[in-house]
Amino acid sequence: MSSAPTVVAVCGSVREESTTRTALEYVLRAAADAGAETELLDLGEYDLPVYDPDADVQGDEEAVKRIVREADSIALGTPVYHGSYSGALKNFHDYCGWDEYEDTTVGLLATAGGGSYGSTLDHLRITVRGVHGWVLPHQVGIRGASSEFEDDPDAPDGRRFVDPDLEERVEKLGRMLVEYAYITPDVTTSRAAADDD
């Protein structure tokens, strides 16, 4: 545990200009500042056909799964499409399983064009539980995402946050992915208990 944890951010939007990806770059910067090795997994740059359980290996499946498996913490970011996560993100998620998510800490972020992101974050939380990832209680939803950023060539992904409170919430997600990268049984406690018996 003395080594730096690896934090991977998965961007569930394939748009050229994605507020989801910009926000995730802030998550990763905060994680790096807290000592992590970081990587952006931009789904637009990988070939992941619609998941077919019957197929042997599809597209970049192996590469993507290895990245997730080797991560200590994962940030899942998605745009809100019809009140839930994007098909792109779920399709990625369908490729991964218990092997990929075991002992992995997961942070959630959703960006909404309009006003509501609650269902999206809930659906993410539930489907990550389905593969037994550890989802952080802290999560980030961004309403009216396109107006929450201003161009700034020096900022991550070329855009800065308009609202510093929101930026702080996003950065907190990055820090917590580092701080809670290694959630493990408190073995001493159980063993001490066993000795008492």
* Subset of residues 132 to 161 that bind a copy of itself, contact rule: CB under 8 A: 132-135, 137-139, 141, 143
Q: Tell me the number of residues near a copy of itself by CB under 8 A.
A: 77
Identified binder of a copy of itself from the candidate list 26, 64, 75, 85, rule CB under 8 A: 85
Identify residues 17-76 at the interface with a copy of itself (CB under 8 A): 33-36, 43-44, 48, 50-54
What are the Cα distances from residue 65, in Å, to 42, 78, 85, 116? 13, 18, 20, 31
CB of 84 to a copy of itself, least distance (A): 4
| Stretch of 62-70, 85-93, 151-159, 165-173 lying at the interface with a copy of itself (CB under 8 A) | 85-93
- CA atoms of 120 and 145, how far apart (whole Å): 14
- Spell 112-147 as b/e; 16+ CB within 10 A means b: beeeebeebbebbbebbeebebbbbeebbbbbebee
1 near a copy of itself, judged by CB under 8 A = yes
Q: Which of 23, 64, 117, 169 binds a copy of itself (CB under 8 A)?
A: 117
Contact assessment for residue 105 and residue 180, using Cβ atoms and an 8 Å cutoff: yes
Stretch that binds a copy of itself, among 20-28, 109-117, 149-157, 162-170 (CB under 8 A): 109-117
